[in-house]
Amino acid sequence: MNSGSCSSLMEVGYDDHHHHHGHEELHVLAVDDNLIDRKLVEKLLKISSCKVTTAENAIRALEYLGLGDQDQHIDALTNNDLKVNLIITDYCMPGMTGFELLKKVKESSNLKEVPVVIMSSENIPTRINKCLASGAQMFMQKPLKLSDVEKLKCHLMNCRS
């Protein structure tokens, strides 16, 4: 357990985004329109030693990722602050859904390698399959528990090494 993570999160500097240090923090972008769920997922991720950025809808998330309407030329990978290692998004959101966000990310040459996890309170097999078929890393049932995030982290760290 990092006692250092009590205060504001540490910046992790990468020498080069291809060379990762042993204990780098995952930077997660968490997208959910529900305030309570955002607070919960943020806490779950911080406790699991992740750096967390939250967005309240898919449009804001895309802007953060550099895929917003205005400037298509922002290369999210050149700014270490922005480099996101994982996107975790709710499925049901007003406006653009998590599924649509997933597709936009996977269509982007810069970001298609970023794993996207979809969360939903509803356990609908066709929905789950649709997300997985479109490139979602995992589908997680809400409400999230600490053990879910721990499993997720393990899974991701194994994928990366």
**Interacting residues toward another protein by CB under 8 A:** 5-6, 34-37, 39-40, 43-44, 47, 92, 94, 121, 142-146
Residue for token pair 């597709």 = 103
Instruction: For the beta carbon of residue 64, count every other beta carbon within 10 angstroms.
Output: 18
Residues near 108 by Cβ (< 8 Å), separated by ≥ 6?
65, 67
Q: Nearer Cβ to another protein, position 43 or 153?
A: 43
Q: Nearer Cβ to another protein, position 43 or 155?
A: 43
Q: Nearer Cβ to another protein, position 5 or 134?
A: 5
* Cα separation, 141 vs 159, whole angstroms: 21
User: CB of residue 122 vs another protein: minimum separation in angstroms?
Assistant: 10
Q: Nearer Cβ to another protein, position 1 or 133?
A: 1
User: CB of residue 49 vs another protein: minimum separation in angstroms?
Assistant: 12
What are 7's two structure tokens?
A: 């205060």
Identify the bridge partners of residue 31 per DSSP, sorted by sequence position. Answer: 55, 89
User: CB of residue 112 vs another protein: minimum separation in angstroms?
Assistant: 29
